Chain A
């Protein structure tokens, strides 16, 4: 569904990503693990086109998207949920969803506000609330719902558990599993290993812009040395 090869990226003169390679098959949940500043967000931004890569190939359903603009990539069925959430604070919940709306797609689940409110019952109760007047957890739900309105076949989730209360993190894990049930491909970046175990099938570990490890979650479970080296703080 989604594959990245030889991705190099930089902010100005600071080279951040080195030959990143990743892959996610249809219906798979893949987690990108790494410490603060490892390059997780930068990887996701490069995939969605917010950061123009120096080199590398990004394929979405065998189609190269590395030269496209973010809106074109989004319209090909790739959703992006940023780490900072970036809710439109001046717009109501409904209007935020409306901005995310795109045409129906054959190969992806079809979302309407009604269906999304089933997935996120909280949002259904505050349809006219301004985005700026919502709690962090509510905003996190809204930013995912907003991206789903584009009917993506795959989504990039940047640290969805960050800064959320344990109950909400639990809820978030359930949500991601529900999305997997719908047949969505998910590439999620995380620092929280427990959360990763709760949602993911496979993991990549990124450190200083290099992919250091790739394997199934159960492999990672049994590989204490890797966890020790790249993930413990």
Chain B
């Protein structure tokens, strides 16, 4: 690259950093004070972009109309954020962290369908900024005026936030609550208003970040999850809760991306490296490196311990005789199903079995092992692709079916080695990062994985070709997998995992090598998720990168949480209900996501312990 090209790429990086910083600062503020990882933050960004486009059209393409539209879009996002906090999240501050996540996932679904309803499925192109739609010449190259403005806007917003947080009483309250919100409450600080205020400010930043981007990027229905993963990376790299950290990380990541695009294709030592393709993963690689070297991010500090009466997980009980009888009965019905049900039911049940195995394997690491994985789809996807590609290139179907889980376990061994070095939100983000890396590799490696088209003609061997035969295969393998995972929890291995979760220090003191057990648990969960993926691939006959994408990981979490993480049967019930609901709703309405989201929200509000947890508690009360 020439010097002028380097300069231009550097400026490009600065310009993209600004909007990313706004959104990340908002998420960081909200997380700091409320300790909620708000997945719907990306949805507010998306709404900011859509509303910005519409408002500027409405006000007219004049400088006043443009900036008025952008500001009002930000304010509208703030209002929506405040309403979400006041009506929904406020009821969940005492609920388990994962349930709060589930609620914010549900909001993502609802807001996505709202955008679909309001703006339609087509991308919406934003107007250019009137008065700033030209270009200036820098080092002999044209550079957009608007981008110069964005470059200036980043530090300005950073400065304003800094003033607000350090020079006002409200800022002191926010910082105090970030450190110890319970103590702030005991001093008379009304958390309710403070939290609503912080949510409004954070959402304002998200909406504004979305709206200022309208001249640069079209509004699409995909941008909510894509920005949220970018923003998670920024916040984690910068350090959770640190605004300057978010600024630094946004700059770092935007610059690295800009240079990857700038460098493009490189031919060296006889190999071609495409740096522009790297942009999809490079931020996750940066995050993985930062997390392993500095687990709290560049400017973050060790997370303050959650205060308040500790919530110990209930001990895992042996299954009661009733439950065993119920299990046998369900299995009996499942075995008879090919006689009792039609072809459609068989396919649906096959899906349910596959997802039950997937969700039990996810529960295995979330519940008993206490590792919150946001990226379990990676192993489902590796299983599916491993099986499909093995079939295409290497071996017959029977062997390919087992090659899938093997590949998945291999992935889990490698990724897990990094993940078990972290805990809490940081671990969750790293798992998400690895899933995203897997997705990008699958998505971009056209020659091997088929890229966005996926792999087609992945059918089972002839003797397993009939619906009934494949259903029995799925039934046997999924049930065996689930029972094996459960069995392990009652073995010394399972006790060790739970000991590590409940008290890492004490477990260490009695000679349990915490990391090694977690690593083994993570790899095992990957293996069985891979088996689910392989079974899925052959049942559909084709796969696409969707099997590795973020929504698949989210589905898994929803299934586990819907059922309740305190019970073993919960994930199975959750998978069944979720898969059935998704199928039923999708057949009856275009807005199945919103319907599902609303159902999840109602369930979360009604049963903050998960559905089966609630049932069990009621049972226990009646018996005593």
Interface residues of A (CB under 8 A from B): 11-12, 48-51, 69-71, 74-75, 80, 82, 86, 88-91, 95-96, 98-102, 146-147, 150
Please tell me if the beta carbons of A150 and B309 are within 8 angstroms of each other in the complex.
Answer: no
> Which of B179, B188, B310, B312 is in CB contact (< 8 Å) with A102?
B188
Please tell me if the beta carbons of B190 and A71 are within 8 angstroms of each other in the complex.
Answer: yes
Please tell me if the beta carbons of B186 and A48 are within 8 angstroms of each other in the complex.
Answer: yes
Residues of A within 8 A of B310 (CB): 11
Please tell me if the beta carbons of A146 and B186 are within 8 angstroms of each other in the complex.
Answer: no
> Which of A11, A12, A99 is in CB contact (< 8 Å) with B187?
A99
B175 interfacial by beta-carbon distance below 8 Å: yes
Please tell me if the beta carbons of A99 and B176 are within 8 angstroms of each other in the complex.
Answer: yes
Complex A-B, nearest 4 residue pairs according to Cβ-Cβ distance, in ascending order: A74-B188, A86-B183, A99-B176, A70-B185
B191 interfacial by beta-carbon distance below 8 Å: yes
Please tell me if the beta carbons of A100 and B187 are within 8 angstroms of each other in the complex.
Answer: yes
Please tell me if the beta carbons of A70 and B186 are within 8 angstroms of each other in the complex.
Answer: yes
Q: Say yes or no: A82-B309 contact (C-beta < 8 A), given A88-B175, A98-B169.
A: no
Q: Which residue of B lies closest to A94 (CB)?
A: B172
> Which of A51, A75, A88, A98 is in CB contact (< 8 Å) with B188?
A75
Please tell me if the beta carbons of B175 and A74 are within 8 angstroms of each other in the complex.
Answer: no
B150 interfacial by beta-carbon distance below 8 Å: no
Residues of A within 8 A of B312 (CB): 12
User: Can you list 20 A-B pairs with a CB-CB distance of less than 8 A?
Assistant: A11-B310, A49-B186, A50-B182, A50-B308, A71-B187, A71-B188, A74-B188, A80-B186, A82-B183, A86-B183, A88-B176, A88-B183, A89-B179, A90-B178, A91-B179, A95-B175, A99-B172, A99-B173, A101-B169, A150-B188
Nearest CB of chain B from residue A28's CB, rounded to whole Å: 22
Please tell me if the beta carbons of B175 and A71 are within 8 angstroms of each other in the complex.
Answer: no
Residues of A within 8 A of B182 (CB): 50, 70
Count chain B CB atoms within 10 A of each CB in A48, A95, A150 and give the residue with the most: A95
Q: Say yes or no: A74-B179 contact (C-beta < 8 A), given A12-B309, A51-B309, A99-B173.
A: no
- Docked pose: A86 CA to B309 CA in angstroms: 15
Nearest CB of chain B from residue A158's CB, rounded to whole Å: 11
- Docked pose: A216 CA to B312 CA in angstroms: 41
Nearest CB of chain B from residue A31's CB, rounded to whole Å: 21
B180 interfacial by beta-carbon distance below 8 Å: yes
Q: Which residue of A lies closest to B184 (CB)?
A: A99
Nearest CB of chain A from residue B244's CB, rounded to whole Å: 13
Please tell me if the beta carbons of B190 and A88 are within 8 angstroms of each other in the complex.
Answer: no
Please tell me if the beta carbons of A74 and B180 are within 8 angstroms of each other in the complex.
Answer: no
> Which of A11, A74, A82, A91 is in CB contact (< 8 Å) with B172?
A91
Task: Knowing that A74-B187, A88-B176, A99-B189 touch, tell me 17 more A-B residue pairs with CB under 8 angstroms.
Answer: A11-B309, A12-B312, A71-B185, A71-B189, A74-B185, A82-B183, A86-B180, A88-B175, A90-B178, A91-B175, A91-B176, A95-B175, A98-B169, A100-B188, A101-B169, A146-B187, A150-B188
Residues of B within 8 A of A12 (CB): 309, 311-312
Please tell me if the beta carbons of A90 and B185 are within 8 angstroms of each other in the complex.
Answer: no
Residues of B within 8 A of A90 (CB): 175, 178-179
Q: Say yes or no: A88-B185 contact (C-beta < 8 A), given A12-B312, A71-B191, A98-B172.
A: no
- Docked pose: A196 CA to B185 CA in angstroms: 29
Q: Which residue of B lies closest to A11 (CB)?
A: B309
- Docked pose: A96 CA to B183 CA in angstroms: 11
Q: Which residue of A lies closest to B193 (CB)?
A: A71
Residues of B within 8 A of A98 (CB): 169, 172
